[in-house]
A and B are shown apart, each in its own frame.
Chain A
């Protein structure tokens, strides 16, 4: 489009982008989305002008006063082919362009910073790995890709940042991810766009994009003192996970150290990658995910762990590089079993029925 009249095109897009009828462009994805938007807008304007021109032109030229007798025409295969193939071609260009953008938005770069967001009626709870917890707000640094792992604790919600042109559904019972890289510091709307009940329109938060230095300062001043992994470690011990997942070759549960992102062979012969979703699922529905060589003895933890707790556990397992800490915890609990302040007061070493 732009080669037809670059000056005019530049002028039009700049005028539109600076008008209040256009949302701010504040992420690396936004210019890509807007370029596609202008392409589709151009198709629409041309299509409407064409149809409008034909209808109005013919109406004037062939109105009854000027054209008292109609000339009957059966049709034209050539014309049918023309107006089948040209729209199809344009739509296919839109399809390919849109597909490229979709993969750009939903395939995060490998070095992205991780943030977890839990949606619940009617708030957004953001959790940073460093232990910063926020409600209806999310602080992020500019100039760095941020990957958000989303889940809902109750109904469908949708995590939408119009200024970044990204959106992803927060679904109960499964993780979804989206990423973005903010370009301009500022405060932007975070909307829940999926209807989620009474206070749906109150489920609005803020995305606070900060310069990297400001972000570091904020992160240092807002930490709760313990990271997600540390919370997860406490939960791991209090739920008695370490009783079976001791890390020793003879233990009843598989070794969890360095299990994250490895391929696991399951009992039924299939394999699965131990990503966040797999880890979460195998805690909630263990019998569905029995690794080869292990007995199906793990009980389900469905309904016993909140989604925040699940994130802590997953984050703990992700950072588990060796079994030293598990052994330490085990030794401590065996020395003084009364000190366990667990959610489930299970004696260590006993598998819950």
Chain B
């Protein structure tokens, strides 16, 4: 079964079958899903919902790239284009990236990884999914009723006085979805503090849990500010009070401060859970404990803390005081360091490992490449003088897509491929999934690398029409997006296929050390037969080797 270039250990397929009793067949019927308190089922509800919204957001992305094939705005009117990129941003950020890893993989695995039966507040957890769906419905109805054309940044006074679209509906959708994030964040913080299994000390927590913890702090402290800001926008738009309107004594820059006070930490809300996934994957597929565990854990916390003090770097050209710009640029440089620490620690983890290249690891390698470029180009933008030329151009579009899509989406796909056998009990085909990871990486580079060059040439973002000299690079970008789309569609085919035809995965196909791999796949509703006792370090492969020799924990 075990060849020299893979670690996959599957049970004998002629006799293996899925566990007789598990969380998927505990109960049947729609009601058993819609009223479930099981964190695993809620995780799957989220997985279906965010995949749905990802494809809507992706369809808008395709429309953007098609429109930009030619310099003139010929596929759609500028108004339509503005609505398309606004909906792309709103859906992708608030309905996909923010909940992606925490609400799906976090919900599913955080309790299991710390040895708990469920999250601290299962009903709040279910409520958070309903709030998310309610927010999603508001945003979709804004889209169906005629759209929003403010961009996802809702800049005032444009959003309050100068557009005639469904700003309030969309803002309310984000407001409601924000509460879904807050509930998830609170649930995670309480669960991590109060529900760890005996022996599961803070420094035995898997790094995935550290990442979720840092993210939850950001969510709980940051999201209320966004909620307040959106309420103020809605009030100014409906009642005409002068909070942001300069002709009534308001200050439009106040909106920028409030909005970015959330939306910069939101960038870390989106990327930290991705980094958390990468730590697990890199350790598993190099058979090694993470190099510098404490450095990786505390760098997540450092990012969460510093992340709150850099928001003004979105406003360097907006007439803020030169001296406050200095302070925020310096802090931006500081927040870049923990990310570098993580990258180097992951690289060092490979040293003297025993590395295999299954799909999750290939996605993680993709993450390394794209996140390194995305992070370093962030330093360009944090550098004051350079920011002036680069901000509001395609350079910034390329930068945040490298971080958010190149980094976060690659990490999300790494996580989905990593934990898929645990969630479903079945394996997906190995070679097709490796191909998908490579295609995604190549497509991504072709799509977004030309945009860095476009940005330095000065092409502004959010242009439906552009001067003709920018066309060649835009065509290249659109061509790359086609490859990228293939990369995203492949998992949509073979993952559902595997649900019926995939090989039985067994408890621990990757030979990973986490508690979630020591139980049956798919897990029982109550996760563990008896409360596990954590008597070893996390990522302890020696313990694992000794353990599998003696015991196999399957019920049924």
B108-116, B304-312, B366-374, B428-436 - the one binding chain A: B366-374
B224: interface (CB < 8 Å) = no
CB pair B155–A155 under 8 Å, yes or no, is: yes
A65: interface (CB < 8 Å) = yes
A51: interface (CB < 8 Å) = yes
Q: Of residues 65 to 120 in A, which have CB atoms within 8 Å of B's CB atoms?
A: 65, 67-76, 79-80, 83-84, 87-88, 91-92, 94-95, 97-107
Given contacts A79-B348, A84-B341, A154-B162, contact A23 B456 (CB under 8 A): yes
Neighbouring B residues of A32 by C-beta, 8 Å? 385
CB pair A121–B392 under 8 Å, yes or no, is: no
Neighbouring A residues of B330 by C-beta, 8 Å? 95
CB pair B333–A62 under 8 Å, yes or no, is: no
Specify the chain B residue showing the minimal Cβ separation from A107.
Answer: B322
Given contacts A94-B383, A167-B388, A200-B82, contact A87 B340 (CB under 8 A): yes
B126-134, B353-361, B499-507 - the one binding chain A: B353-361
Neighbouring B residues of A74 by C-beta, 8 Å? 289, 291, 293
Which of A47, A155, A189, A199 is B158 in contact with, Cβ under 8 Å? A155
The digit string for A294-308, where 1 denotes a CB below 8 A from any CB of B, is 000000001100000
B257: interface (CB < 8 Å) = no
For the complex of A and B, 3 pairs with smallest distance between CB atoms: A101-B385, A162-B458, A173-B246
What is the bound-complex CA distance between A106 and B325, given in angstroms? 12
B26: interface (CB < 8 Å) = no
Neighbouring B residues of A173 by C-beta, 8 Å? 246-247, 251-252
Question: With contacts A63-B355, A201-B462 known, what are 20 further pairs, Cβ within 8 A?
Answer: A36-B385, A47-B376, A59-B365, A62-B286, A62-B351, A94-B382, A97-B385, A98-B384, A101-B385, A102-B385, A106-B322, A155-B157, A162-B389, A167-B388, A167-B389, A168-B388, A172-B246, A195-B150, A195-B461, A302-B247
Neighbouring A residues of B329 by C-beta, 8 Å? 95, 98-99, 102
What is the minimal beta-carbon distance from A284 to any residue of chain B, in angstroms? 9
CB pair A91–B352 under 8 Å, yes or no, is: no
CB pair B373–A48 under 8 Å, yes or no, is: yes
CB pair A91–B336 under 8 Å, yes or no, is: yes
B36: interface (CB < 8 Å) = no
What is the bound-complex CA distance between A173 and B437, given in angstroms? 50
What is the bound-complex CA distance between A331 and B347, given in angstroms? 83
B140: interface (CB < 8 Å) = no
B451: interface (CB < 8 Å) = no
Neighbouring B residues of A165 by C-beta, 8 Å? 388-389
Q: Of residues 279 to 293 in B, which have CB atoms within 8 Å of A's CB atoms?
A: 286-289, 291-293
Given contacts A59-B355, A155-B158, contact A48 B376 (CB under 8 A): yes
A11: interface (CB < 8 Å) = no
Neighbouring A residues of B541 by C-beta, 8 Å? 70, 72
Given contacts A95-B330, A156-B252, contact A193 B393 (CB under 8 A): yes
CB pair B5–A64 under 8 Å, yes or no, is: yes
A266: interface (CB < 8 Å) = no
Neighbouring A residues of B352 by C-beta, 8 Å? 62, 67, 70-71, 73
Q: Which residues of A line the B interface, CB within 8 A?
A: 20-23, 32-33, 36-37, 40, 43-44, 47-48, 51-52, 54-55, 58-59, 62-65, 67-76, 79-80, 83-84, 87-88, 91-92, 94-95, 97-107, 121, 154-156, 158, 160, 162-163, 165-169, 171-174, 176, 189, 191-202, 204, 285, 302-303
Neighbouring A residues of B465 by C-beta, 8 Å? 201-202
Specify the chain B residue showing the minimal Cβ separation from A165.
Answer: B389
CB pair B357–A59 under 8 Å, yes or no, is: yes
CB pair B355–A94 under 8 Å, yes or no, is: no
CB pair B458–A189 under 8 Å, yes or no, is: yes
What is the bound-complex CA distance between A97 and B73, given in angstroms? 39
Specify the chain A residue showing the minimal Cβ separation from B6.
Answer: A64
- Number of A-B residue pairs, CB cutoff 8 Å, is 298
B482: interface (CB < 8 Å) = no
What is the minimal beta-carbon distance from B502 to any residue of chain A, in angstroms? 23
CB pair B379–A76 under 8 Å, yes or no, is: no
Neighbouring A residues of B151 by C-beta, 8 Å? 195
The digit string for B131-153, where 1 denotes a CB below 8 A from any CB of A, is 00000000000000000011101
Ordered by A's residue number, 10 sampled pairs between the chains whose C-beta atoms are within 8 Å are A36-B383, A47-B376, A62-B355, A70-B288, A70-B354, A102-B316, A158-B317, A166-B389, A174-B319, A195-B82
Neighbouring B residues of A73 by C-beta, 8 Å? 288-289, 291, 348, 351-352
Q: Which residues of B line the A interface, CB within 8 A?
A: 4-7, 73, 78-79, 82, 149-151, 153, 155, 157-158, 161-163, 246-247, 249, 251-253, 286-289, 291-295, 316-319, 322, 325-326, 329-330, 333-334, 336-337, 340-341, 343-345, 347-348, 350-357, 365, 368-369, 372-373, 376-377, 379-380, 382-389, 391-393, 453, 456-458, 460-467, 469, 541-542
Neighbouring B residues of A75 by C-beta, 8 Å? 291-295, 345
Given contacts A44-B376, A102-B384, contact A51 B343 (CB under 8 A): yes
Neighbouring B residues of A104 by C-beta, 8 Å? 385
* Most chain A CB inside 10 Å of its own CB: which residue of B161, B246, B334: B246
Neighbouring B residues of A79 by C-beta, 8 Å? 292, 344, 348
Given contacts A33-B386, A80-B341, A198-B149, contact A169 B351 (CB under 8 A): no
Given contacts A83-B341, A169-B319, contact A98 B4 (CB under 8 A): no
What is the bound-complex CA distance between A185 and B155, given in angstroms? 36
Neighbouring A residues of B318 by C-beta, 8 Å? 156, 169, 171, 176
Which of A71, A94, A105, A176 is B333 in contact with, Cβ under 8 Å? A94
CB pair B458–A23 under 8 Å, yes or no, is: yes
Which of A43, A97, A167 is B317 in contact with, Cβ under 8 Å? A167
Given contacts A73-B288, A102-B385, A285-B249, contact A44 B340 (CB under 8 A): no
* Most chain A CB inside 10 Å of its own CB: which residue of B252, B379, B391: B379
* Most chain B CB inside 10 Å of its own CB: which residue of A80, A105, A285: A80
What is the minimal beta-carbon distance from B366 to any residue of chain A, in angstroms? 11
Neighbouring A residues of B457 by C-beta, 8 Å? 21-23, 162
Neighbouring B residues of A176 by C-beta, 8 Å? 318-319
CB pair A201–B463 under 8 Å, yes or no, is: yes
What is the minimal beta-carbon distance from B118 to any residue of chain A, in angstroms? 33
Neighbouring A residues of B385 by C-beta, 8 Å? 32-33, 36, 97-102, 104-105
CB pair B347–A58 under 8 Å, yes or no, is: yes
Neighbouring A residues of B386 by C-beta, 8 Å? 33, 36-37, 40, 98, 101
Specify the chain A residue showing the minimal Cβ separation from B389.
Answer: A165
* Most chain A CB inside 10 Å of its own CB: which residue of B252, B289, B356, B386: B386
Given contacts A58-B353, A102-B384, A198-B78, contact A95 B247 (CB under 8 A): no
What is the bound-complex CA distance between A154 and B542, given in angstroms? 67
Neighbouring A residues of B453 by C-beta, 8 Å? 21
What is the bound-complex CA distance between A88 and B332, given in angstroms? 11
Neighbouring A residues of B466 by C-beta, 8 Å? 201
What is the bound-complex CA distance between A204 and B312, given in angstroms? 27
CB pair B291–A193 under 8 Å, yes or no, is: no
Neighbouring B residues of A204 by C-beta, 8 Å? 467
CB pair A22–B456 under 8 Å, yes or no, is: yes
Which of B161, B340, B355, B356 is A83 in contact with, Cβ under 8 Å? B340
CB pair B369–A52 under 8 Å, yes or no, is: yes
What is the minimal beta-carbon distance from B467 to any residue of chain A, in angstroms? 7
Specify the chain A residue showing the minimal Cβ separation from B376.
Answer: A44
Neighbouring A residues of B388 by C-beta, 8 Å? 33, 101-102, 105, 165-168
CB pair B384–A99 under 8 Å, yes or no, is: yes
CB pair A87–B337 under 8 Å, yes or no, is: yes
What is the minimal beta-carbon distance from B134 to any residue of chain A, in angstroms? 28
Neighbouring A residues of B288 by C-beta, 8 Å? 70-73
CB pair B155–A195 under 8 Å, yes or no, is: yes
CB pair B322–A160 under 8 Å, yes or no, is: no
What is the minimal beta-carbon distance from B397 to any residue of chain A, in angstroms? 12
Given contacts A100-B385, A155-B157, contact A197 B376 (CB under 8 A): no
Specify the chain B residue showing the minimal Cβ separation from A200.
Answer: B462
CB pair A65–B460 under 8 Å, yes or no, is: no
What is the bound-complex CA distance between A71 and B288, given in angstroms? 7
CB pair A95–B353 under 8 Å, yes or no, is: no
Neighbouring B residues of A199 by C-beta, 8 Å? 78
